[in-house]
A and B are shown apart, each in its own frame.
Chain A
Amino acid sequence: MSALALRGPAWLVARQHGRTLGWGAVALVLLIVVRLVLLGWTYVDVVQTCMSVIGFLPALFGLFVAGPMIARDLESGAYRLLWTQSVSPARWLTAKLALPAAGAVATMLVLAGLCRWALSFKPDGAQGMEWYADQVYPLIGPLGAARALAYIAIGALVGILVRRTIPAMVASFVAIGIVEFAFNFARGHLGTATTLYSTLDEGMRGAPGIFVADGNVTSTGAKIGDACVSDQCMREHDISGYFNTYIPHFWPTQLIETGLVLAVAALALTLTFRLLRTKAAS
């Protein structure tokens, strides 16, 4: 106990929010259990339900930091008390962020290991559980932990800006949603793509990787994004087959995306501390 005991502002953070963390974990497990009671306990249901909850964890960390941890202190004025008690504003914020950030990263890394392990028992042909599926991809590598860090940083920034608990939670939810959407959208550009070709008779082949583009190929080899429906259109464009472009490898894209997400985290953190300094000075 004594060796691990936290002191000063870190102790305060643990003391203030430890119980919420416990209740939050209980609520999430309860949510999973109730859903599974309704759906059934097959392998696919269990793994998909757990993964969809885990997928929301980074955003939940961000919301919690933005609202109850930072904006509430600013709203209630509790920060003034601390800042006069030999805890500087920068140290106050560091203590607020370091503990949840470390906890979130550790949690997400452990869960990533668990997800990889659980997916190793995947039955053949289980739809939507491939490594490149949107639900799976962030949870089987370091990206989940990076997201947790970035969303906590965004939560801190929004909390400092908005300074009211519930509006801060809403605003950070929107901000996090935009960042996540942008990265999901850009993923097809973060890696070396391969293209599969097939003839008209074969039909378009499914691509085992991150989707980039697909469509028709003309006899000259040109790619047309929009596929024809009418025979007339087929003849006009002289279409000879299909193409499907995708990124076949997991790690390069995952590492690039993790790096970019960490850059977003660093940017948000820098801005947050800067803002805090100007606010504290005024």
Chain B
Amino acid sequence: MSTSTSPHPAPAPAPAKTAKTSRLRPSGQLWTVLRLHRTALWVWVAFVVISIGVLLWVRYGSTGVDAAATLAGCGTAGHRACDEWMWSDTALVTTRDRLLEIGQVLRNLAPVVAAWAGAALIGRELENGTAELAWTQSVSPARWLATKLAVPAAFLTVGAGVLVASYRMLLDWSVTHHMLRAGYEKYTLYFNIGPATVAYTLLGLAVGALAALLLRRAVPALVAGAAAAWLLTVAIAPWRGSLWPVGAVGDSSLWHLPGSDSCGGGIYNHNLIDSVDPCISAQPADHYLPVQLVETGIVLALAAVLVLISFRVLHRRNA
């Protein structure tokens, strides 16, 4: 937003090419993408750094330390059983809520990325004609789109990968301290701690790009891209339970975190969380990786198909 305070309604900053560039400076199209979208780049870097800060704070902040201390020694003489959940303990409930909220943020990256890709990355350039300008400057449309997608994809993969790995470490910590109860909330958390989250982020990029190429205007592409990405994530979610043959009894739509307390030992108060009975439907923990990988594969394949369609649309427009 730093550029927004400039006194003039600035057009897209033109890549003012200097004659002498240093060896480290990327050249040509790559430089253009990095330079043009530097605000978004910094926002993404800041988001990743701040999120990691929040994760560290949840664990090492006073609330997290209190929550761990509350449950320390559970199951031994003079303490309650580990599976007895104290809803009235503020530190515990707050920590649990934070874990869930971070999970929600990670789950909803795809629509945000799609909105950005649709509006700022591609839609804006098609709307104001700078894309056509680039295509006349010895950059073919296909190469233009390829760079536009590859650079953000690299940043998104690294950033989301780091976030997912950190979040997983935080969840492992909370599982060791018996902070997670059986069922519902684990289901929410479960899908955020594997490569599928990274795949969804990339799917968001592909959806936004396609929306922009079809609509060729920034704000409609923003809205359509975000809505479509959100719908896709919602549409895929119900199928997760049936992605892999189920050995356990009952409804296959609920999961256990690998390594957590067994479901039978968990306490679950249906008056306090929404409506799902968890304990009848746990999946064995060793199903975790296959299901994650299958889901990741499906999401990545979908993203690849959308990218292919995007190139086709671009080709047809310019033919």
| Interface set of A (CB-CB < 8 Å, partner B) | 23-24, 27, 31, 34-35, 38, 67-68, 74-77, 127-128, 161-171, 204, 206, 214-216, 225-232, 242
Contact = CB atoms under 8 A, between A and B. Distances in A.
A214 B88 CA distance: 7
Contact of A68 (B90, B219, B271): B219
A229 B219 CA distance: 52
B298 interface: no
Q: Which 4 A-B pairs have the closest CB atoms?
A: A227-B88, A230-B79, A75-B9, A162-B4
Q: What is the predominant secondary structure among interface residues of chain B facing chain A? A: helix
B70 A229 contact: yes
B238 interface: yes
Contacts of B124: 166
A123 B4 CA distance: 50
A230 B73 contact: yes
Contacts of A229: 70-71, 74, 79-80, 84, 86, 89
Contact of B9 (A23, A31, A163): A163
Contact of B4 (A127, A167, A228, A232): A167
A268 B89 CA distance: 39
A100 B9 CA distance: 25
Contacts of A162: 1, 4
A215 B5 CA distance: 48
B119 interface: yes
B227 interface: yes
Nearest to B224: A27
A206 B9 contact: no
Contact of B222 (A76, A169, A204, A228): A169
A216 B86 CA distance: 11
Interface in B38-53: 39
Contacts of B224: 27
B275 A127 contact: yes
B89 A226 contact: yes
Category for how many chain B residues contact A: 35 or more
B92 to A, nearest CB: 8
A34 B231 contact: yes
Q: What is the predominant secondary structure among interface residues of chain A facing chain B? A: helix
Nearest to A68: B219
Interface in B206-241: 218-220, 222-224, 227, 230-231, 234-235, 238
28 contacts: A24-B223, A27-B223, A27-B224, A31-B231, A34-B234, A38-B234, A38-B235, A68-B219, A74-B9, A75-B9, A77-B9, A161-B4, A166-B119, A166-B120, A166-B219, A167-B1, A167-B39, A171-B4, A214-B88, A215-B88, A215-B90, A216-B88, A226-B89, A229-B71, A229-B86, A230-B80, A231-B79, A242-B88
A130 to B, nearest CB: 12
A58 to B, nearest CB: 16
Contacts of A24: 223
Contact of A38 (B71, B238, B274): B238
A31 B235 CA distance: 12
A232 B9 contact: no
A162 B1 CA distance: 8
Contacts of B84: 229
B274 A226 contact: no
Contacts of B71: 229
Contacts of A127: 274-275
A204 B120 contact: no
A264 to B, nearest CB: 22
Contacts of B1: 162, 167, 170-171
Nearest to B10: A164
Contacts of A225: 90
